Amino acid sequence: MPSRTQITIIGAGPAGLTLGHLLQRAGIDTVILESRSRAYVEQRQRAGILEQGTVDVLRASGAGARMDAEGIRHDGIELRFDGESHRIDFPALTGGRSVMVYAQTEVVKDLIALREAPILFEAEALDVTGLDGTSPEVRYRHEGVEHTLVSDAVVACDGFHGIGRTALPSPRVYERTYPYSWLGVLADVAPSCEELIYARHERGFALHSMRTPTVSRLYLQVPNDTDPAAWSDDRIWDELATRMAVDGWSLATGPITSKGVTPMRSLVSEPLRHGRLFLAGDAAHIVPPTGAKGLNLAVADVTLLADALLRWYRKGEESALDAYSGRALARVWRAETFSYEMTTMLHTDPSALPFDDRVRRERLRRAVTSPAASAVLAENYVGAPFEGLWTVP
């Protein structure tokens, strides 16, 4: 078991793996501790939309070959409501920017395959100490034995329930829980659309997405206490067809291979640093999936942090590390605001007043009829440009 490294990374999700990859390219030693098995990490279903900035970073760091070969570029999304369909054209509204459909599972597999330094799977981080000094320590358990890993800094990419977020003294937490969830399914059927469909219906929100040209990913708004087993395949297909219906379009159906319910929550924990501990990804912030921001915020966080760590090691500069929390949070709050607006605009809220419901419908209509409002939606969906493209100096 390694006992010393330059940077300890807790968590082998997109944030931890991307940071490890970027630092590896720069010649900085890292050890990644992951509490789950490799099989679990590589099969964990999450996001499937990559912002332009995420695509650029993966390409620039040598991790984009399979993404470019198998990913599906999308130049827009479709918004449906009141039996109408409206397309938001990304390149026309954002100066040529777009998004890529490429599942998180595949990003994770690519980054693991490129990893040269250790990833300790099924290694549970137990606590972090010495954060105010120059050699913080992470105590972890692997194969029933406890070990200690000493490093120059620790980056917690271990999600909302990890030890990283709780290790910060007196964080400021901003949180909102939504009164509905998503029932998500994977189906072995070719997508019924060329681009994502976001549909608002009086029965609730629906989303048609895809993973590959032969696998569809679909979602339905459901109550928070929903049991996926209570929804038969036929019921799911019927409800999706009802909520997304427009003249001249039909929904293709096929075998559903998985079902799950995703709660809808917004959360930001500030700051993202205490001493030699840094937070990134879901350890620091959660967004509802409506705006496709979770994975992309994680990559933005660690791209910024990797650059700051590189400046620290190569030039002895600490200013970028000192600025990390504030710079990252500026992007986080922009994404949180967009995700909140998309979520409330597209979902029906059982507790809302009729007035509120009509306002949300008007916001949606404005988004597709006002060029300025369409541009704001498109710019936020494809993502703000990253603060400099990652390159190894």
DSSP 58-113: HHHTT--HHHHHH-EEE-EEEEEETTEEEEEEHHHHHTS--EEE--HHHHHHHHHH
What is the pLDDT at residue 186?
Answer: 94
Is 227 strand, coil or helix? coil
What is the pLDDT at residue 47?
Answer: 72
What is the pLDDT at residue 391?
Answer: 58
Domains for the chain: give ranges and CATH numbers.
7-74+102-174+266-349 (3.50.50.60)
* Residue that has been written with the tokens 């959360």 in this structure: 267
DSSP 279-336: E-GGGTEE--GGG--HHHHHHHHHHHHHHHHHHHHHH---HHHHHHHHHHHHHHHHHH
Q: What CA–CA distance (Å, rounded) separates 26 from 23?
A: 5
Edge-to-edge strand ranges of the sheet holding 137-142: 123-129, 137-142, 145-150
**Residues classed as catalytic:** 74, 198, 289, 293, 381
What is the pLDDT at residue 46?
Answer: 72
Which residues of the chain fall below pLDDT 50? none
Helix axes 319-346, 294-315, angle to 10 degrees: 170
What is the pLDDT at residue 6?
Answer: 97
What is the pLDDT at residue 52?
Answer: 94
What is the pLDDT at residue 386?
Answer: 79
What is the pLDDT at residue 389?
Answer: 57
What is the pLDDT at residue 304?
Answer: 95
Return the percentage of the chain with pLDDT > 90, whole number.
Answer: 90
What is the pLDDT at residue 371?
Answer: 97
What is the pLDDT at residue 81?
Answer: 96
Cα radius of gyration rounded to whole Å, the chain:
21
Beta bridge partners of 270: 172
